[in-house]
Amino acid sequence: MATNIPLEHRLISKPQLMELLSWSESSIDRRLREDLDFPRPVRLGPHTVRWRLADVLDFIDSLPLAEEEWR
């Protein structure tokens, strides 16, 4: 597998998304239903979806920082 694929073209699976965000599958499914800002998957086939890694990283960067009392 090519490792020099540009970041904006890399795709990740749902298990990889779960690991990257440290979220459960149900949390991701809920975000997909309720949060219009959550990255949308792309469909590769009838039963295959992936997320653009660049979109997911942008989403992570957009999350608010924890308040001082949480640190």
pLDDT tens for residues 25-55?
999 999 999 999 999 999 999 999 999 999 9
Confirm whether 65 is domain-assigned: no
68 located within any domain: no
In-domain check, residue 2: no
Cut 0.85: pTM above it: no
Residue 53 lies inside a defined structural domain of this protein: yes
CA separation for the pair 36, 4 (Å, rounded): 31
Q: Give me the number of domains the chain comprises.
A: 1
Question: Does residue 24 or residue 8 have the better pLDDT?
Answer: 24
Q: Residue 70 falls within a domain, yes or no? A: no
Is residue 42 a part of any domain in this protein? Answer: yes
Residue ranges making up the domain that contains 36: 9-60
Long-range own/partner contacts, residues 9-12 (CB < 8 A, 24 or more apart)? 9/52, 10/52, 10/53, 10/54, 11/42, 11/44, 11/50, 11/51, 11/52, 11/53, 12/50, 12/51, 12/53, 12/56
